[in-house]
Amino acid sequence: MTTVTYHGKRDQLDQLENTVWVETAAVPGHLPTISSLPSRTDLRNHSPTGFEWGYAGSGPAQLALALLVDATSQPCALKHYMSYKNEVVSRLPKAGWTIDRESILTFVREQEQKERA
């Protein structure tokens, strides 16, 4: 089973772009694949200066969109990313964080259940 984990780390001097990457482990015991998370400013350009987290602004909106597009699909992400920003990304620790794809999928399922209720 493939596991996907997202990581964010703030620049130590807080002067450069924050780093967000995706770690994909397809086979247990083997080295994971690591890549940068695309910002997806092609879909919505909330923050051309990069990702942010720990508050509810434009940088966190861009991060929420990018995470949801990567973990789900473009239509799903566009529907739920602002809720994800408000409920998850705005509360991430400033220094750094780790989120797994399954927690994103759980969030989306819960949002869709709320809509059906």
Q: What is the pLDDT of residue 69?
A: 98
In this structure, the number of other CB atoms found within 10 A of the CB of residue 25 comes to 16
Q: Give tens-digit pLDDT for 55-95.
A: 999 999 999 999 999 999 999 999 999 999 999 999 999 98
Q: Is the pLDDT of residue 96 over 60?
A: yes
Angle at 52 between CA 80 and CA 64, to 5 degrees: 15
pLDDT recorded at residue 117 = 81
